[in-house]
Amino acid sequence: MRLLLLSLAVVFSSSAMAQSGKALHDAACMECHASLGGGDPYELYQRDDRKVRSLQDLQSRLQFCMRAADVSWDSDQQKAVVDYLNSRFYRF
């Protein structure tokens, strides 16, 4: 029973984290990307010649784009956004 509760807690907290990664991303990153992607903010992550080729690339791109978006996320928030982008688009 304890183990069950523990695994439920893990499942819930990881989905809460993906959720907050999406919330952070959607608040800070969509507008500029939409203007680059012809109105579609997700185009950049899905185009054939996308630039990000590894988890490492994704992390460095996030650092760069955080400055462009003028946000200063702590490492948990950065990880949540990387997890969100990776699970939804990149799948490294």
**What residues make contact with ligand HEC under the rule CB under 6 A?**
25, 28-29, 32-33, 36, 44-45, 50-52, 58, 61-62, 65-66, 68-69, 71, 81, 85
| Exposure class string for 22-37: b at 16+ Cβ within 10 A, else e | bebbeebbeeebeeeb
The torsion angles phi and psi of 81, rounded to 5 degrees, stand at: -70, -40
Residue closer to ligand HEC (CB basis): 1 or 49: 49
Q: Are the C-beta atoms of 25 and 85 separated by less than 8 Å? A: yes
Residue closer to ligand HEC (CB basis): 12 or 92: 92
User: CB of 19: closest distance to ligand HEC in angstroms?
Assistant: 16
Residue closer to ligand HEC (CB basis): 7 or 46: 46
Would you give the end-to-end CA distance of the chain in angstroms?
A: 34
User: CB of 44: closest distance to ligand HEC in angstroms?
Assistant: 4
